[in-house]
Every structure is written in C-alpha cells, then in structure tokens.
Amino acid sequence: MDVTTEVTRPAPPVNRGRALVMAFAAVLAVSIAYDMWRMPVQVSDSLQEILDAQASPSVTESFRHAMGSTAYLRPLRIAQIKAVFDLSQGHYTAAYRGVHVVLIVTLIMLFARALPVTSGSDAAAAVFALTVLTGLHTFLGFLREAFPINHFLEIAVFALVALNLSLSRGGWWADVLAAVTLVCASLTLESGILVWVVIVAAWLCGLRGVSTRGVVVVTFLLGGYFFLRFSYLHTGLPSLTERSAGFLFERLERNEVQERFGNTPMIFYAYNIVVSLLSVLLSEPRDGLFVATRAWSQSDVKPLAYLAVGSSLAMTLAIAGAMIWRWRRRAPLDRADRIAIVAGAVILANAVLSFSYAKDDIVALGGAFYAFAVYAAMRAIIEFARGGGPARAVLVSGAVFTLGTAWAVRSSGVHFIANEHAFRTRNDWAKLHLQWEREGRWPKDPKPLAVVEKLRRDALDRAIPNIQLAPEWKERWYGD
C-alpha cells in the first residue's frame, strides 16, 4: 500500500451526516462543559500556583523565572496561569473554570472536525468514536485538573489543532500555525513535542496540509527545543525520586523507587512505557498499577472494572481485526486509515514520553487519538458486515451494538465522576484553613489572604450534590 499518494483535496461538501456528527459532538461538549463549570478550582497543585501568579510582577517575569527550572522546561505553563490571573480582574474561579470549559469544548469539536464523515456509515462510526473518546478512562484526566489550567487538555487541543492543519487544504498559514502550535505546546509541557509527532506522522501518511517546508520548520524548531533544554539551559530530566509510582500491584514511595531501581532505571522506564501503552489499549493498568487484576485476585471486582477492561480489550481486538482485514484486502488507504496510522504513532510516542512515571493523565492525549483508530476500525467493521450474508450482518451488528452500549455506559459515567471530583474538591477547600493553619501556611499578608478567601468562598458556595446520597450502583459502575 502506498501511504504517500493522498493528494490534499478540498474538504468534502457539508452533508447531513457530518452536520449530525458535529451536533452530537456539540451536545457532548456542552454537557461536559457544564460539569466543568460547576467544579470549584482545585486546591492541591492549583492554589499555590495561583498565589505564585499573584506574587509575580508580570507575565514576562513568570515566563523568565520558569526558564530556570531544574527538571522541567514549562515556562509557558506558568506564564499562562499568570496571564489568566491578571485578566480575571478578581473573578478567579470564573476565569480558570472558563478556560477549562473553552478547552474541553474545543477538544471535542476539533476531534469531530477531523473525522472525514461523508456518508451515513461514516456518521455512525463517528458517533461511536465520540462515545469512545469521552468514555475512555484517560479522558477523565482532561476533567480532573491538577493545575489551575488543565495542561494535559491543552496539549491535546494543540495536537488536534496540528492534526486539523495536516488535514486542511494547506498554505503558508497552515505552516505558520503548525510552527506556532509546536512552540506553544512544547513550552507548556514536555508532552507538547507530540505535536511534532502528529505533524510528521501525518505528512508521512500523505496528509500534507502542513507542507514539506512546514515539516522542515517544525523539525528545526524541535531541534531548537532540545538544544535550548539540554545544551543551553541544562534543564535535566525528572529523577527517580521525583514522585511515588505504581509498580505492578503496589504503590512505591519515592525512596522505594530509588532503592529498587536506582541501579537499573531502564527497567523502571521500560515498565512505565509498557504500562502506559497498555493503559490506553486495555484500560489496565491504571497509573502504573494493575488495579483490576489485583481486585480480581482478591475477589473484589466492581462491575466498572469488568466494563472498562472488557470494552477496551474488545475494542482493541476489533481495531486489530479491522486493520488485518483491510490489509488482507489490499484496500487503498483512505483518509480515516491515514488518521488511524497517525493515531498509532501518537499513542506509541505518548507512551515513550511517559518513561519517567506512568500516569493516566499523561497518556490522555494517546487516549484521545485512540478514538481516531476506533473511527477507522468501525468504518471497516461496518463495511465487513455489509459485505457478507444476513448471518454475518446480524452477528457483527450484535457485537458492535453490545460494544457500543458498553462504551455508552462508560461515557455516561463522566458526569458522575465530575460530581465526585467537585464534591471532593469542595471538601478540600473546607479543610484548607485548618490544614494550612496547622502547617503554618495560612497567609498573614492581606493580599494572598484575600485571594485564598475569595476562592474558598466561591468553592463553598457552589451547589454540589453529596455523592454519599447517590445510588450505590453509580459508584459500582462509574466510580473513580
């Protein structure tokens, strides 16, 4: 199969199927955005960064100061937090939650936009893929923010911008935007360099919205990033003792990681890469821990574990089966196939970038691209089902319906998880004064005290349902 033959062509005319898919995506996006809006700003990892933003004299100073970090190069991340703080004019919760809402809507709409929907079966596959996008456990990483701005979500948006540029008709503006996207992403988080993977993989697959010249420029910029990071700024890599880590069935504290892998870090890194990959493909392990396997060995498995691992395993097998079927038919690569190849490259690269520690949030981008592979596979499966007799059509349709129902259940759980997270976060704010007072951290300076009190009142005033009053089945089927 020749992967370099697709000529970038005009986008297909708007059709009813595509319009329905965009409408479906918009409905999902709005409902999840509503959940995001109801959540308070998180305390852990967020509050101190907001106070740091307040203390910083300017966005430029925040950027410059962050360039001197020892293990990470994320100056734009810090600068963004400062910029949103300054622009909020005291409405901190609205500003930070607003950014989250915009990002989640953008992510879902960019995903839907990238799907080449030209027929009814394409639309059905797209609806299925959107259900997988929002149902996969890694998607929750986009909702549970760790920082004032959810940067994992931001990187995923940058990657989808890059993909949409590669799928566009191209032009100098696409090349410029691709370069800007890469620079912004890579200076926000390390995983931002996956934008380069998207652009180059798309180009290699024949998706040439970003031209050869554009690919050369972004590759040059990537080289510049590595030079800046390792040669000029001497920003290192995270050490083994950076944080605790999941390993097989137990969580290792930082000193335990050092003790066990201090002399053989490559084993630890290889483990993290493999489990990150498996997490996207099988929904197990989670954060490096084989939680479902452990629960199964202790005869304490919730329905959620069966649902998550079963649906992911079946979906990944279906993708593999569809790929083999397409390959054996020597079918020419269409646009969906090419996007699926890009998805494979991104999932793999995302897992490799997770070498230092395995966390579902880090592979959330890979999870989003997994849904592109689902789209291509579902189109092939529909084609396969239509190509035989009634028995094949009924059997395959039954399997697809069952799988789709499982993913729809997973997708519907997003709202419960959001409620659960909001409830916990509000409780964190309730306990903050007590904790910080005891730790001697409660601000005495009136300026940071005013920010803390404002955020705390905003959080406590939020009307959030008590998850203890939720029906038990929700915890068993949706629980985090």
Partner 1 sequence: MVRRLIAILPVAAAAVPGTVIGVGTTIVILLAIGGSHPMWRVEPINMSEAAVLRDPGTIVRLILRGEDPYARREIRADLLSNDRLELTPVEAGIAARRAEVVDVLLFSARTRPDAATWTHLKCLATLEGDKDVSATLDRYRPESATEMCDGVTRPWK
Out of 164, 211, 244, 427, which residue is the one contacting partner 1 (CB under 8 A)?
Answer: 427
**Which residues partner with 245 through β-bridges?**
252
Judged by beta carbon, residue 35 or residue 154, the one nearer partner 1 is: 35
Taking contact as CB under 8 A, which single stretch among the options 88-96, 116-124, 180-188, 267-275 is the one that binds partner 1? 116-124
Q: Could you tell me how many residues of this chain bind partner 1 (CB under 8 A)?
A: 60
- Residue 385 is a binding residue for partner 1 (CB under 8 A): yes
User: Phi-psi category of 48—alpha, beta or left, where left has phi over 0 and alpha has psi -120 to 50?
Assistant: alpha
Taking contact as CB under 8 A, which single stretch among the options 53-61, 86-94, 225-233, 403-411 is the one that binds partner 1? 403-411
The helix or strand, by DSSP H or E, that contains position 19, with its residue range, turns out to be helix 16-38
- Residue 381 is a binding residue for partner 1 (CB under 8 A): yes
Judged by beta carbon, residue 94 or residue 385, the one nearer partner 1 is: 385
* All residues at 6 or more sequence positions from 100 whose CB lies less than 8 Å from its CB, including other chains: 36, 39, 145, 149, 150, 153
Task: For residue 416, give both structure tokens.
Answer: 């419960």
- Residue 118 is a binding residue for partner 1 (CB under 8 A): no
Taking contact as CB under 8 A, which single stretch among the options 56-64, 302-310, 335-343, 426-434 is the one that binds partner 1? 426-434
- Residue 254 is a binding residue for partner 1 (CB under 8 A): no
Q: In angstroms, what is the minimal distance from the CB of 377 to partner 1? A: 11
Contact 154, 142 (CB under 8 A): no
Q: Closest Cα partner for 74 from 143, 146, 133, 138?
A: 146
Taking contact as CB under 8 A, which single stretch among the options 1-9, 128-136, 140-148, 274-282 is the one that binds partner 1? 128-136
Q: Which is it for the CA torsion 336, 339, 340, 341, positive or negative?
A: positive
Sketch the per residue contact string, 34 through 53, with partner 1: x for CB under 8 A, - otherwise.
xx--x---------------
Q: Closest Cα partner for 403 from 383, 384, 377?
A: 377
Contact 59, 82 (CB under 8 A): yes
Judged by beta carbon, residue 230 or residue 401, the one nearer partner 1 is: 401
* All residues at 6 or more sequence positions from 265 whose CB lies less than 8 Å from its CB, including other chains: 240
Out of 405, 449, 450, 476, which residue is the one contacting partner 1 (CB under 8 A)?
Answer: 405
- Residue 386 is a binding residue for partner 1 (CB under 8 A): yes
DSSP 298: T
- Residue 408 is a binding residue for partner 1 (CB under 8 A): yes
- Residue 441 is a binding residue for partner 1 (CB under 8 A): no
- Residue 158 is a binding residue for partner 1 (CB under 8 A): no
- Residue 125 is a binding residue for partner 1 (CB under 8 A): yes
- Residue 117 is a binding residue for partner 1 (CB under 8 A): no
DSSP H helices in 115-150: 120-135, 140-143
Task: Report the distance separating Cα 105 and Cα 85, nearest Å.
Answer: 21
Task: Report the distance separating Cα 354 and Cα 337, nearest Å.
Answer: 26
Judged by beta carbon, residue 152 or residue 423, the one nearer partner 1 is: 423
Out of 168, 181, 356, 411, which residue is the one contacting partner 1 (CB under 8 A)?
Answer: 411
Q: Which is it for the CA torsion 346, 352, 353, 354, positive or negative?
A: positive
Taking contact as CB under 8 A, which single stretch among the options 43-51, 72-80, 333-341, 411-419 is the one that binds partner 1? 411-419
Out of 294, 302, 415, 454, which residue is the one contacting partner 1 (CB under 8 A)?
Answer: 415
Task: Report the distance separating Cα 290 and Cα 423, nearest Å.
Answer: 27
Taking contact as CB under 8 A, which single stretch among the options 52-60, 84-92, 325-333, 431-439 is the one that binds partner 1? 431-439
Out of 334, 393, 448, 480, which residue is the one contacting partner 1 (CB under 8 A)?
Answer: 393
CB atoms within 10 A of CB 226: 12
DSSP 197-243: HHHHHHHHTT--SS-HHHHHHHHHHHHHHHIIIIIIS------GGGS
Out of 10, 13, 57, 389, which residue is the one contacting partner 1 (CB under 8 A)?
Answer: 389
- Residue 205 is a binding residue for partner 1 (CB under 8 A): no
- Alpha carbon of 51 to those of 36, 99, 187: distances in Å? 22, 18, 21
Task: For residue 288, give both structure tokens.
Answer: 């490096």
Residues that bind partner 1 (CB under 8 A): 24, 27-28, 30-31, 34-35, 38, 120-121, 123-125, 127-128, 130-131, 378, 381-382, 385-386, 388-390, 393-394, 396-398, 400-401, 404-405, 407-408, 411-412, 415-416, 419, 423, 426-427, 429-431, 433-434, 437, 457, 459-461, 463-466, 468-469
